[in-house]
Structure 1
């Protein structure tokens, strides 16, 4: 089965793909129904992403962590977020999506817009701190070769291919991604790559989703392939 959408771009961050129908007023948000209990997911992300979310909770939510914890819908999610997150350790990624959705709701921002901002904020932090040696002060001439290991350091799932398609264009193909995360993951990735390019001296660069399709299963979870086009502009 193939899902087809028009291009999604960093120039239109409020646009996003969706694998679900629009949420009716009063209907439970899709991201609150995790595919498995918090902490038991097999798709994992580095703790640095959770630490980034914690920073947003502190800086963006009135009432800070206590208000965020109270907004989490289940004791299991509350317990999951109550643990310390080590930047270099891997954690179930599904609660990150749920927590991002809760934080977007508290901030009264649509999830796709929040995810785009979240990605840009994380990219700025990574360039300055987490992956400074890999990214900061480097030319964009070989950025494609440095983006491959960056993805591998962030996630313990998926396959990542980054290639140069000309002096000002990069193609990013991300495969074996769980479909459940995609309404958050696509705008977050667009924001992240936009933020990376801005931090590396190409602030007018654009990132556009070129294609998105289902391809395979991991257990009962549909997997997808996402292709992004990055156009470098000063």
Structure 2
């Protein structure tokens, strides 16, 4: 992301893929509703330190580091985002004022914030409460993504320890206080949603995504010969 691209986002205004929040000196209480909605829909751009109108008001320079830390830590808290999803806030200066930018991708999973599923439309975030709407959301995810396929006989010993070290080094370089750095590799996979249970069939295990990201070469070739 560049400042010039940020200015284009600001000029475009809020919509299904863009959300502004003021966040002058603290993290907005509803920020993870927007993160959740973006994950469940098609992803989006989240800017903190900006009014709904697109006017940049900035974030207190003494508070911005804490806000970024809170964003990262709480994205790993299932009470705020379930399943957790790691996000990487970036700090920029626009018109002499500091703002935070977060690119939230589309997720292959259905996420909740608090006890509710959120989705997104042109007017912003909304709760998904009806059984039919929730079912459609799960069906849409299943149709778009295959990486959640569970391999019940894929074991932790099938993963490459070197890849875990690379991932930890990457996290350390971006966020040295990230909670994933304090847990085991197995716990990290579960936290990332790479170990799942199918509540319809009872089948549980590591997913295709886990295999693609972490499996040893010989294991991956057996699962996905094209790789």
TM-score range, shorter chain: under 0.3
More helix by share: 1
Larger radius of gyration: 2
TM-score (norm 2): 0.27
TM-score (norm 1): 0.26
The one of the two structures with greater contact order (alpha-carbon pairs below 8 A, sep at least 6) is 1
